[in-house]
Amino acid sequence: MWMVGGVGVCGCPQAGGGGFRWGCGWVSVSPVTFGDLLDAVRALGVDALAGFDRDALIAAGVDPARVRALGGVHEVYFGPTRFTRQQRLAVEAARAGGHSLDKLVLIERYMAHLDDAAERWRARRELLGVRGTYAALRSAAQKAAPAPERPAGADRVRFSRTRGGKRSLVVVGSQRRMADLEHALRDRVPGVGPAGEEMYDALWQLLDGAGAGAGAGGAVPAAVPRPLVLVPLASWVRIMRGEGDDTVLGLTDATTMTGAEFLNQVVATGEFELEAALFHPQEGAVNLYRTQRFANQKQRDLARAVTPVCPVPGCRHGAEACEIHHIQAFKHGGETNLANLVPVCRYHNRINDDDYPVTGRANGRGRIETTRGRPRWVSPRGYPTQNPHHAHYGAMEQLFGADPPT
C-alpha cells in the first residue's frame, strides 16, 4: 500500500476491510487528524515553494492575499537575483532553522521596511537564525527592521460614512493643539464613567457653548430646514398620525432619521417650512414649490433630492457637501437647467470625463450621465452603475422604485 494525500491505495486484489475498489486497485480512506495537520505545517518549509504556481493556488481556493505573500517569499529564495551567494545561504538557513512558511512570510513583511537590498539580505540572515515561536521571531524582526514612522500629513478634519446610525470624526492637528483640546475635555468630565464616553459629552458642551450667534444656543446649529429631508407622501401621513417610529427617512447629507426624530427635530422647531417637489418617472425633477416662498436654490434643492449622495460608486459624500455638476459640460454648451445638473463631490467633479461626448476618447475615470431621470456614473467602458450608499433614499427611487416604469 502507498499513501496519496491521506488516502491509502493498495494494488493487492485481496485488499479488504473498509476500502473500496478504484480502477484496478483498492482505496482505503483514513480521516485526517490534528496531528496530521501539525505534521504538515512542520513539513512545509522553504522547499515547498520551489515549484510555486500562483494560478494553481488561486484555482485551489487559497486567499489571493496569501498567494501574493507566498509569491514574494518564492521570489526571494528562488527568484533571479544578483545576490546569489546570499540567496543560497538564506535557503540553507531557512532549512536549518526549520522555519514554517508563516515565519518566512513574516520575515519578508519586515524586510519591506528596508530600502537597501544588501541590508535586507543581512537582516534576513539574522532573522533566519532566530529560534523559537512566531511571537519570538516577530519581536526580533521589530528590532532588526522597525517600521518607519509615518508622516502625520496635513492638519485636517474627516467625517466617516454612517454605520449603524453613527459617524466618526477624525481630527489631525499639532500635538500642542490636540493636548489643549484633551485638557479642556478632561476638565469637563465627572470621572465616574468611561473617559471616552464622558469626553464625547464634554466635546458637545464645548462646541455648543463656544461662540454666540452661530445658532440657537451654540456654535453648532441644527440643520433645519437644510439638509433636505426626503419624505414620501405615504410616510408623511403616517408620521403626522404619530405612527412614524419605524419609518426611516433619508437626508441629503447622507444620514437618516426616524419619523419620530423628524417630528421632534424638524416639525416641532417652529421654523419648519413644507416643501413639495414634482417628479416625472422618466424625466426626473420638474419643479419645486414651497408653502411660503420660492427658494433661491431651487435647482440645487431638486438636484439634491434626486441624488442625495455623490453618484460615483463607493463615494460617501452627501449632496450637502457636493458641488453642482453640469452633466453636459458648460464649456461644451451644457445648459444650467434641472435635467443637466447633479450634485457630485469635489474630487469626482474634478476628474469627471467631461470631454468624452465630444472627443469619444475616455480618460479612464468615468463620467456622469442621466438614465431615465436618474444620474448614474458610467464606467470608462460604458457601463452605468449606481452608488449603492444611501441611494434608495433618492426621490426617484422612493416614488417610482429601483426600476422606473417605461
- Do 131 and 239 have their domain in common? no
Cell of 42: 512542520
Q: Which residue has the higher pLDDT, 42 or 376?
A: 376
Q: Of 111, 144, 177, which residue is a domain's last?
A: 144
Same domain flag for 54 and 103: yes
For the stretch 279-327, pLDDT in tens is 566 656 555 444 332 334 677 888 888 888 899 998 988 888 888 898 9
| Cis omega (within 30 of 0) for bond into 225 | yes
Task: Provide the residue range defining the domain that includes 365.
Answer: 224-406
Please indicate, yes or no, whether residues 200 and 233 belong to a single structural domain of this protein: no
Task: Assess whether 87 and 188 both reside in one domain.
Answer: no
pLDDT in tens, 228-239: 666 676 777 677
Residues 201 and 232 in one domain: no
Domain boundary among 144, 166, 182: 144
Q: Are residues 276 and 398 part of one domain?
A: yes
The answer, yes or no, to whether the previous bond of 227 is cis (omega within 30 of 0) is yes
Task: Give me the numbers of helices (H) and strands (E) for the chain, helices first please.
Answer: 15, 16
Same domain, 339 and 406: yes
* Distance of alpha carbon 321 from alpha carbon 352, whole angstroms: 17
Q: How far apart, in whole angstroms, are the C-alpha atoms of residue 214 and residue 217?
A: 8
**Is 128 within the bounds of a domain?**
yes
Residue 15 lies inside a defined structural domain of this protein = no
Please state the pTM of the whole predicted model: 0.48
Q: Is residue 379 part of a domain?
A: yes
- E-assigned strands of 282-322? 284-290
Overall average pLDDT of the 155-179 stretch: 87
How crowded is residue 86: how many other Cβ atoms within 10 Å of its Cβ? Answer: 17
| Residue pLDDT, tens place only, 85-114 | 999 999 999 999 999 999 999 999 999 999
Nearest one of 206, 203, 202 to 189, comparing CA atoms: 202
Give the pLDDT confidence of 207-251 residue by residue, as tens digits: 877 544 444 445 666 654 456 666 676 777 677 677 777 778 777
Report yes or no on 7 lying in a domain.
no
End-to-end CA distance of the chain: 69
| CB atoms closer than 10 angstroms to residue 39 | 11
Residue 19 lies in a domain: no
Provide the b/e sequence for 133-159 (b: ≥16 CB within 10 Å): eeeebbebbeebbeeeeeeeeeeeeee
Q: Which grid coordinates belong to 119?
A: 541590508
CA–CA separation, 320 and 303 (whole Å): 11
Half-sphere exposure of 240 (CA within 13 A, CB side): 8
Which of 144, 178, 196 is a domain's end point?
Answer: 144
Q: Are 227 and 252 in contact (CB under 8 A)?
A: yes
Does 134 fall in a domain? yes
> Total domain count for the chain?
3
Q: Looking at the DSSP assignment, which residues form a beta bridge with residue 159?
A: 169
Task: Looking at the structure, tell me whether residues 136 and 191 fall in a common domain.
Answer: no
Whose cell is 480521516? That residue is 31
Q: Are 161 and 318 in contact (CB under 8 A)?
A: no
> Is the same domain home to 397 and 331?
yes
Domain match, 177 and 58 both: no
Is the pLDDT at 17 greater than 70, yes or no? no
Tell me, yes or no, whether 200 and 229 share the same domain. Answer: no
The answer to whether residue 295 is domain-embedded is: yes
Task: Read off the C-alpha cell for 146.
Answer: 522597525
Q: How far is it, in rounded angstroms, from Cα 318 to Cα 280? A: 23
Distance CA 26, CA 49 (A): 32
**DSSP letter (8 states) at residue 254:** S
* pLDDT score at 292: 36
Q: How confident is the model at residue 191 (pLDDT cuts 50, 70, 90)?
A: confident
Per-range mean pLDDT, top range of 231-235, 332-336, 373-377: 373-377
Residue 175 C-alpha cell reads as 500635538
Q: Which residue has the cell 485488499?
A: 15
Instruction: Note the pLDDT of residue 298.
Output: 72
DSSP string, 38-66: HHHHHH-SGGGGTT--HHHHHHTT--HHH
Determine contact, residues 167/390, Cβ cutoff 8 Å. no
Domain co-membership, 355 together with 241:
yes
Calpha distance 310→318 (Å, rounded): 6
- Could you tell me if residue 216 is inside a domain? no
